[in-house]
Amino acid sequence: MIDESGKDQVLSALSQALDGADNEAAIANVRARFLGSDGSITQMGKVDFKSMSRDERRTFGRTFNLLKKEAERRVSQAREDLSARQAAARFRFDPTLPAPRKMGAVHPIFSTQMEVEDIFRSMGFQVFAGDHAVPEFDNFDALNIPGDHPARDMQDTFWLDNGMVLRTHTSSMQNRAMRELGVPLRAIFPGICFRNEATDLTHENTFYQLEGLMVDKHVTVAHLIGAMQNLLSRVFRRDIEVRLRPGFFPFVEPGFELDFKTVLDGKERWVELMPCGMVHPAVLRNAGVDPDDYSGFAFGLGLTRLAMLKHGIPDVRLFNSGDLHFHRQFTPTL
């Protein structure tokens, strides 16, 4: 049975744990300890109602629901406080520095990245950026792309003398994140990628991606669609309609191409945006996760492409051109 005294003790223990949680992963771990499927609060709700009187059941239900609701509120407040502290640290101002003659501005790709990061943080995801040079296993084999797989032919890569490779996609962080952070997991991996590309209006050899990964029990395609609709609606500040088309990618099964509906050149049309799908069981096993217990979705959002769509930029090569005529559109004081 839970009484007021017991409820207060649990909430006090939760608050103490949250006070010591100084990052997204720590807060997520605290929430799992108390509110996860095996959490202490969840376990308190597993009682034998048949042995209780009607009044006892009513009292228990009311007290338990209040406890769970207050616990969720405190976890949410801890996340909001953490975001506020991170934002304050990001934009520290030193009044002793001399004023610059001309103010700079955030690059349009990076401003898009920061916006997307904030949206995913509000959905409980943590940011895990990773390294530019990664082991071959993380970039290929862990993602169900062995050495003889034809998918490697599509990603001519830059290899280093020590056997490392400049990552061709931020999907290379999936295995490391699951092993280091454990599951359940909600994480995004933003950053720069490198490929031996023939450059044109839509292709560059250096570009930015944001990989997303959610692994938990009973994750379905519906969770993927909901997360993508929420993201795009907030980025473009209007309700966005999305659709999934079948697509093959070695690290997801089933795999999809995600399109969203927008207006281009005065006409409403579907625009291809990102590959996505349910995490392949082999990828989960490579990270030490049992696919019989866990499922998940993953997606690879092109931040460079999203910035082009958001700002109406016709040529991807303009981002890295250093052309002041281009950059003054985003930084008038240059």
Q: For 180-213, what is each residue's pLDDT tens digit?
A: 999 999 999 999 989 887 788 877 888 899 999 9
Whether residue 79 contacts residue 26, with contact meaning beta carbons closer than 8 Å, is answered with: no
Query: What end-to-end distance do the CA atoms of the chain give, in Å?
Result: 66
Confidence of residue 103 (pLDDT cuts 50, 70, 90): low
3 state DSSP class of 128:
coil
Name the more confident of 316 and 5.
316
> What average pLDDT does range 222-237 have in this prediction?
92
Confidence of residue 217 (pLDDT cuts 50, 70, 90): very high
- pLDDT for res 3: 66
- pLDDT for res 126: 93
The residue written with tokens 């949206």 in the block is: 119
- pLDDT for res 246: 95
> What average pLDDT does range 219-228 have in this prediction?
95
> What average pLDDT does range 99-107 have in this prediction?
67
- pLDDT for res 331: 64
Give the CA distances from residue 285 to residues 118, 144, 302, in Å, rounded to whole numbers and listed in that order: 30, 10, 26
Name the more confident of 77 and 312.
77
Q: Is the pLDDT of residue 333 over 60?
A: no
Residue 36 in tokens: 């996860």
pLDDT tens profile 25-66:
899 999 988 888 888 888 887 877 778 888 888 888 888 888
CA–CA separation, 126 and 214 (whole Å): 10
- pLDDT for res 97: 75
Share of the chain above pLDDT 90, in %: 34
CATH architecture of the domain formed by 108-327: 2-Layer Sandwich (3.30)
Whether residue 60 contacts residue 46, with contact meaning beta carbons closer than 8 Å, is answered with: no
Task: Work out the mean pLDDT of the chain and round it to a whole number.
Answer: 86
Please state the separation of Cα 248 from the chain's center in Å. 22
- pLDDT for res 298: 95
Confidence of residue 291 (pLDDT cuts 50, 70, 90): very high
- pLDDT for res 198: 78
* Dihedral pair phi/psi, residue 119, rounded to 5°: -65, -45
- pLDDT for res 100: 62
Residue 320 in tokens: 């890295």
> What average pLDDT does range 249-257 have in this prediction?
92
Confidence of residue 2 (pLDDT cuts 50, 70, 90): low
Bridging pattern class, strands 133-134 and 165-166: antiparallel
Amino acid in position 61: G
- pLDDT for res 143: 86
Q: Which residues contact 47 (CB under 8 A, 6 or more apart)?
A: 1, 60
Q: Is the pLDDT of residue 297 over 60?
A: yes
The residue written with tokens 């975001």 in the block is: 83
Q: What angle do CA 72, 76, 78 make, to 5 degrees?
A: 115
52-56, 171-175, 211-215, 244-248, range with the lowest pLDDT: 52-56
